[in-house]
Amino acid sequence: MSVILSINDRIIILSNNIDGRWIAAMNNFSLSNCRGELVNKQNLKHFVGEKLAEAFNSTIECLSQTEHKPTYDKLPFHHLIFNTTYKCNLSCKYCYFSADSSGSSLNEDLIEYSIRKCLDFLDDNSELTVLFQGGEALLEYDSIRNALEKLGKQPKIHYQMQTNGTLINEDAMNLFEKYNMHVSFSLDSHMENHNDLRSKNPDIFLQKIFDACKMFQERNLDYGIISVVCKNNINDLRFMFQEFIKRGIHTFAYNLLWPIGRAKNEGLDELVVPVGQLVDTMLNVYKDIYKFNIDQGHTPFEKYHERNLFMLWRRLFYRKLTNYMCMNTPCGAGINTLTVDTDGQVFPCALMLPPLEKGFQIGKIYTDSISSLLQKDSLVKHRNLDQISQCSTCTYKAACAGGGCGIAFYHSKKDINSISIYCDYYYEMLSAMIEHAMLQMGVRVLKNFEG
């Protein structure tokens, strides 16, 4: 295969964009910028000059031979998601479900049956992650608690919950503690008025979230924060990290705004952060977290990390290409992950549930075997980066894998192979992460492979 060359004002990078190997050099030669150029031994000199091309000859030969790397879609079935309810006690303006106070909910029997069916399907060496989300999952606290009590201790299961956090009380905390459940809840900013996309009463919302943080700290339980990044809170992100440290939060996620669902209806595409500002801010967040871990005696991102940057870091520098479903193409939706709706209908992914578009169901949990559900065709399985011109020759195709959730971008443009609205952000961010590593190490050349 051809090797991919990209040059910016700071670095020169050659990559095999299938297996994720790359070599980078500081651009101390005032070379002209280029992006995603196919190169070989013969034509590289036209971009970098004969002397530098000669130095890269052996590397070109090495990178042109693709190594086999496992991909996320080859992992066995391991993830069951429950849409517990379409109801929510809030009405977040960017909710892709457009959840409100009405809608259906599942019952405890459906939860118990689905989990038992999935456990029966697993082989002896596999484990199952079970995620409860919604709507607001804690509106169905009784159903979840009763189902888990019937199931009893299940050493193969890792329970998780996504909640807006406002309904967390001592009963909920007892549930989380009993089942060692990892809980993520919502907070867009430590500033009251910057949570107004989540709540009509941001002051009350913020206090409830901080009260929940205190309950988790007192019990020393695992929890994390999910923030939606937009123009309203982009300038708060670095300060929020300091706030998280004070409140004992080690893991958090700055998820980029997807203008779909209610966000599209509300015209929130105007709140998508411009690329330059997004890169500058997220790079500073990256550097802050990196430095804080080092200063505390940890390796980079060992204890404190923002999920998306951490996963990018692992993919870029260590070629861990099977982590985090939503950062892969093809992803695991309908392959090793299934979503059960409130009525027992099964979908590949929560972003394929009816509020966004009808017709994506692949079967019913009560009547279809897990094996047959995983073999069903679905739209998300047809996303192909080689069919997206900007992705096919991108230096970072392996690490970036398409710039986020493909089905989210489908909902924006009704094309499963549409380009990510954050394409340029990922390209610039990954380049900046490599430059940062080179500066930290004091080297002019860096590569992520042996040989």
pLDDT digits (tens, 9 = 90+) for 47-72: 999 999 999 999 999 999 999 888 88
pLDDT at 16 over 80: yes
pLDDT at 175 over 80: yes
Helices 141-151 + 170-178 axis angle, to 10? 30
pLDDT band at 334 (very low <50, low <70, confident <90, very high): very high
Task: Please tell me the predicted confidence (pLDDT) of residue 169.
Answer: 97
Taking alpha carbons only, the member of 364, 398, 402, 360 closest to residue 379 is 360
Task: Please tell me the predicted confidence (pLDDT) of residue 330.
Answer: 84
CA distance 246 to 230: 24
pLDDT digits (tens, 9 = 90+) for 180-192: 999 999 999 999 8
pLDDT band at 97 (very low <50, low <70, confident <90, very high): confident
CA distance 56 to 231: 42
Phi, psi (deg, nearest 5) at residue 94 = -110, 20
More confident residue, 73 or 18: 18
pLDDT band at 178 (very low <50, low <70, confident <90, very high): very high
pLDDT digits (tens, 9 = 90+) for 398-429: 999 999 999 999 999 999 999 999 999 999 99
pLDDT at 1 over 80: no
- 3-state secondary structure string across the chain: CCEEEEECCCEEEEEECCCCEEEEEECCCCCCCEEEEEECCCCCHHHHCHHHHHHCHHHHHHHCCCCCCCCHHHCCCCEEEEECECECCCCCCCCCCCCECCCCECCHHHHHHHHHHHHHHCCCCCCEEEEEECCCHHHHHHHHHHHHHHHCCCCCEEEEEEECCCCCCHHHHHHHHHCCCEEEEECCCCCHHHHCCCCCCHHHHHHHHHHHHHHHHHHCCCEEEEEEECCCCHHHHHHHHHHHHHCCCCEEEEEECCCCCHHHHCCHHHHCCCHHHHHHHHHHHHHHHHHHHHHCCCCCCCCCEEHHHHHHHHHHHHCCCCCCHHHCCCCCECCCEEEECCCCEEECCHHHCCCCCCCCCCEECCCCCHHHHHHCCCHHHHCCHHHCHHHHCCCCHHHHCCCCCHHHHHHHHCCCCCCCCCHHHHHHHHHHHHHHHHHHHCCCEEECCCC
Long-range contacts of 199-202 (CB under 8 A, 24+ apart): 199/90, 199/92, 199/166, 200/91
pLDDT at 172 over 80: yes
pLDDT digits (tens, 9 = 90+) for 21-46: 999 999 999 999 999 999 999 999 99
pLDDT at 284 over 90: yes
pLDDT at 202 over 90: no
pLDDT band at 2 (very low <50, low <70, confident <90, very high): confident
pLDDT at 214 over 80: yes
pLDDT at 231 over 80: yes
Q: What is the mean pLDDT of the chain?
A: 95
Q: Which of 70-79, 291-300, 396-405 has the lowest mean pLDDT?
A: 70-79
- Please give the distance of CA 155 from its chain centroid, rounded to a whole number: 26
